Structure 1
Amino acid sequence: MNEQATTERLRVLALSNVSKSYETSFGPFHALRNISLDVEGGDLLAILGKSGSGKSTLVNMMTGLDSLSSGAIWSCASGGKQVEQMDQDALARWRGLEVGVVFQFFQLLPTLTVAENAILPMEFCNCFPRKEQRDRAMANLSNLGIAEQADKLPHDLSGGQQQRAAIARALANDPAVLVADEPTGNLDSETSAEVMELFTDLCKAGKAVVMVTHERDLSKYFNKSILLADGEIAARTGGV
């Protein structure tokens, strides 16, 4: 068995009967119902579905940005901790170390340089000596092809370059999984393909990437997918 095959069998996140409800003036609204799935190293997992199907709600649960109504999420990469049982400080540190988040609108801090944005998670988690942080950030930026943009502010970069910078920031502390919410939604087709190739390379190196998308033409990049409809899993591919 080769190393990649072994890596692909390691779970990094496990969801069991995850549900989310909101109280409204018309009664409870069930945004998610009994979602169970495993995310493994090497997965490039797509979360598909129409607007309002629960895609963003699900990734908010997976990253601890919103609380569950019922069910459980285990972070297998950090010894089987239950995400919903962490307090806010522990959640923030867990996200900083174990889960890289990539947003559709990049969310780079506009007054910091690209390199400073890429260093920020290292400073927050304080898991690398300060003297090593810029070198680590520059290595990530170089791997993503934008090292020459390191000392520019985000508004000086193209949309594709900003998304690469956001990915570099998400990779700062070498997390086991990246969760990306519509990361190609504001990019042209050529730049979208470049970002997907980057994700593919990360998965080949053993990381997991979970990506919300409505773009069916990206399906060739995914080895697993789930289709959400009305907050439930309507279809699965790839054995997820």
Structure 2
Amino acid sequence: MPALISMRNVGKRYQTPSGSFDALRDIELEISSGEFVAVVGKSGSGKTTLINLLTGIDTVTSGHIQIGSTAVHTLSEEQLAVWRGKAIGLVFQFFQLLPTLTIAENVMLPMDFCRTYPSAARRPRALALLTKLGIADQADKLPADLSGGQQQRAAIARALANDPPVLVADEPTGNLDSKTSDDVMQLFAALAKEGKTVVMVTHERDLSRYFTRTIMLSDGAVVAPARDA
């Protein structure tokens, strides 16, 4: 099966007052549809930079990134924003739900921005996603009225709003208790089995049983095998 995500000779260099700094060096990586991949490494190893490049939040200094049929490294900032809205679902540690919108409205927001669904279809789709994630009864509440686990489920529903092929999660369990973390991890694993590709940054070693494989970064380079033998 061809890789859904392909990174070839990817490097990212930042200019700092003390000189240039290579955050990533010669990254070679392939990830297929339906994989649930962990990205691990110490602070400063390049995890966040890798995620930012995969999601088009930042751009490469060198190399090529292909996701599906899109050569991400060739896109302008405006093109990246449009592509990201449809192709990537983002889940964060602190949920990033807009506090003045209801849960349903938060889930509808990506559909409103990208116009992927007709206006009349957006709320029904949001409610269907919230039902899938077990919190349909919270749809018309504000985020502050929900528990941390419920807010993260809402954030996952929002990430799924435009039916992206790739979900990228940055420490999504870092603000949750162990029981809720397991619930969220089971959700991600189920989504991977349905065919979504899930890439997750984590520091939590006890979650390793959920991943199809783990990629370890150190000093901006991959130090564990990018594919299991």
* TM value normalised by structure 1: 0.92
Greater displacement, 10-19 / 113-122? 10-19
What is the one-letter code of the residue matched to 1:145? G
Which consecutive residues of structure 1, in runs of 5 or more, have no partner in the other structure? 1-8
Number of the residue aligned with 2:82: 93
1:87 positional shift: 1.7
The answer to whether residue 9 in structure 2 is matched with residue 20 in structure 1 is no
- Say if 2:193 is the partner of 1:204: yes
State the distance in 2 between where 1:52 and 1:44 align. 23
Pick one of 199, 210, 223 that aligns with 2:212: 223
Q: TM-score, normalised by structure 2?
A: 0.97
Q: Which of 106, 118, 125 is residue 117 of structure 1 equivalent to?
A: 106
Question: Which amino acid in 2 is paired with 1:58?
Answer: L
Aligned ranges 1:66-85 → 2 under 5 Å: 66-76=58-68, 79=69, 81-85=70-74
Displacement of 1:203 after TM fit? 0.6
CA distance in 2, matches of 1:237, 1:219: 15
Amino acid of the residue matched to residue 98 of structure 2?
L
1:149 to 119, 129, 138: 138
Q: Is 1:51 aligned to residue 43 of structure 2?
A: yes
CA RMSD in angstroms, aligned pairs only: 1.2
Q: Secondary structure at the match of 1:185?
A: coil
Unaligned runs of 5+ in 2: none
User: Secondary structure, in 3 states, of the residue corresponding to 2:224?
Assistant: strand
1:63 corresponds in structure 2 to: 55
| 2-structure distance, mates of 1:89, 1:33 | 26
Q: CA deviation at 1:238?
A: 4.4
**SS at 1:11's partner residue?**
coil
Structure 2 residue 119 is matched with structure 1 residue 133: no
1:25: how far off? 2.4
3-state DSSP of counterpart to 1:93 = helix
1:192, distance to aligned residue in structure 2 (A) = 0.4
Q: Do the aligned partners of 2:29 and 2:226 also contact (CA within 8 Å) in 1? A: no
